[in-house]
Amino acid sequence: MTTAPDTLAVRVRRGRQQRSLAHRILRSPLGAASLIYLAAVTLIAIVGPVLVPYDPMTASLQDVFAPPSPEHLLGADSAGRDVLSRLVVATSFSLLGALITVVVAAGVGIPAGLIAGYRGGWFDSLSTWIAGLLLSLPAIVVLLAARAVVGPSLWLVMGIFGVLVSPSYFRVVSSAVQAVRAELYIDAAKVAGLGDARIIGRHILSVVRAPAILMTSGIFAVGIAIQASLDFLGLGDPTMPTWGSMLSEGFRNIYRDPTLLLWPSIAIALTCVAFTLFGTSIRDELERTGDRGRARSAAPWAAPATRPAAPERHDSGHAETDPVLTVSELSVAYDDGESGWTTVVDGVSLNIAKGEIHALIGESGSGKTQTAWSILGLLPQGGSVVAGSIKFHGDELRGLDPHRLSQLRGRHIGYVPQEPLSNLDPSFTIGQQLTEPLRVVLGMNRAAARDRALQLLERVGIVDPQRTYDSYPHLISGGMAQRVLIAGAVACEPDLIIADEPTTALDVTVQAEILDLLRELQSEAGVAMLLVTHNFGVVADLADRISVMRNGSIVETGPTAELFDSPRHDYTKSLFDALLDDAPARGAWTPREVRA
């Protein structure tokens, strides 16, 4: 233990990072306002008691309930004491009381958290238990009991309150130390010869900084509130003017002179709000570091400088007379705020005819799933279709009213997602999730929807439909969940199914079954399907046509047989090579020596 964490903390606090943080806080209006207010209050607390015109405790019979006047700017109270002087002197006592709470809380919570996090074992268990105990009772009840023991001492009571809130510091510090300790053995800093204490100090500081500032300002606010409540209840020290005792005095004379209540109320409310806003604005600023994606980009999307080459087409003459889906020159981009737009799909065109299975194949990150989501109109936040058109039975979907689009989904376009279990709502039974769209979209009654859902479950090959119908998602296997999701996709008899990697998350044996099921359902109903996958094995005997996608664009497209017989694009060839090598189709082909 050569360097104590405290000295590191001081050193870092003086550093550049803190200064820029202060700068950032001043830029946020609420943060700046609360900081200025708190600085003013602190100044009043320090120099005010020396400057006040009257002694805050001296009663004066002729000034009882004196109205505001040049002598008594805010008037005088029921004992003729000057309200302004009392308010100023009370500022010192109230802030000092809260400061004691913060110091005791930090003084108890931080060392205990450091030891518990570093040593673990019985000390950790015991102190965690005590922390839970301290937080379980309402503080005011404990303080009432404590007041019965220690008498009317402001400082002692605020100190005890500090102990009561110390678990907040304890919890943050001990979990931070634990996390750092767990990483310590792989930490390069250790190799570099830095001592444990120094590593822990630095790491903890970076983890703990934001919650500690938020907590400290929160405890200041609560300390002022608690101190005011105790004084208001008449449990404080009668020889000390505090905001709470002024409030109590104002409340007793509420009918006589309500303004006596006004000034301490304003002081307490503003100070509590300022501390809280100060804390939250610091936290917001610290959390925003490296996350500037909130703001909208100022510039509209512009097509990237390098345009994708036209795809290799195996059938230039192929034209659908009545396509179910026509996507042309589709581009999808994400608004990254200050850094502009990220284009994930660029110039994608594809046609899907009635009853056709069209496979969209490519490695992960090639934009297949983004294309699928944009057809459904369900791109994640920040993403949008920035160019091109999506026509469903000849009707443009891009820019369609959200309500109309919502009516198309489910009823006309079905969706089979990639990860079966995360795509079922864990809080509802399978039955509820299957019947809800039937009732909302198709307007079926409860009994009809239930019968239909059970039929669907049976159709997708679930052995005991009733049991699955009543189950929650966590009780069924991934393969079963995917069958349920397929049942959901075909429930409203759509004309088009978008299946996004429907077998990727499943075991190999289950994969084949699910593919068989998809093929059966597709041929039965003559429904068109967009099958997104990264696996050529999946598409080989399922798809009618294939589009190969790479870096957001389609590089080659054509009927399955032709594409397999004579792949033209290098990337398609490399995917075939990978398939023949029985290796997973990942990444573009690179020369062996480079790869090694």
Q: Does residue 423 belong to the site contacting another protein (CB under 8 A)?
A: yes
* Contact flags string 135-164 toward another protein, x per CB under 8 A: -xxxxxxx-xxxxxxx--------------
Which of 474, 595 has the CB closer to another protein? 474
| Inter-residue contact 415 to 409 (CB < 8 Å) | yes
Does 440 help bind another protein (rule: CB under 8 A)? yes
Contacts of 167 by beta carbon, 8 Å cutoff, 6+ apart: 109, 130, 131, 132, 134, 135
Q: Coil, strand, or helix at residue 550?
A: strand
Which single residue is written with the structure tokens 């809080």? 427
Local structure of residue 302 (DSSP, 8 states): -
> Taking CB under 8 A as the rule, does residue 324 contact another protein?
no
Q: Which of 210, 260, 390, 424 contacts another protein by CB under 8 A? A: 424
* Minimum distance of another protein from residue 490's CB (angstroms): 11
Q: 21-50: which residues touch another protein (CB under 8 A)?
A: 30
Q: 391 to 410, contacts with another protein by CB under 8 A? A: 402-403, 406-410
Angstrom distance (rounded) from CA 532 to CA 500: 5
In the shown chain, the binding pattern of residues 357 to 376 toward another protein, with x for contact by CB under 8 A and - for none, equals ----------------x--x
The answer to whether 116 contacts another protein (rule: CB under 8 A) is no
Which residue is it, tokens 């606090």?
13
Query: Which C-beta is closer to another protein: that of 143 or that of 538?
Result: 143
Residue 443 touches another protein, criterion: CB under 8 A: no
Encoded one letter per residue, x for contact with another protein by CB under 8 A and - for no contact, window 251-290 reads x--xx--x--x---x--xx--xx-xxx--x----------
- Contact at 8 Å (CB) between 331 and 305? no
Distances (CA, A) of 76 to 36, 44, 122, 186, 254: 29, 20, 58, 67, 14
Minimum CB separation of residue 69 from another protein in Å reads: 23
| Subset of 474-493 contacting another protein (CB under 8 A) | 474, 485, 488, 491-492
Question: Binding to another protein (CB under 8 A): which residues in 223-242?
Answer: 225, 228-229, 232-235
Residue 152 or residue 461: which is nearer to another protein going by CB? 152
278: which 2 tokens?
Answer: 């100060």
Give the burial string for 249-264 (b: 16+ CB within 10 Å, else e).
Answer: bbeeeeeebeebbebb
Closest separation in Å from C-beta 553 to another protein = 24
For another protein, give the closer residue by CB, 34 or 533. 34
The number of C-alpha atoms within 13 Å of 228 and in the hemisphere containing its C-beta is 26
Q: How far is the CB of 230 from another protein (least distance, A)?
A: 9
User: Toward another protein, which CB reaches closer, 55 or 419?
Assistant: 419
At 333 the three-state DSSP class reads strand
Angstrom distance (rounded) from CA 73 to CA 396: 72
Which is closer to another protein, CB of 29 or CB of 70? 29
Phi-psi region of 347 (alpha: psi -120 to 50; beta: other; left: phi over 0): left
CB of residue 438 to another protein, shortest distance in Å = 9
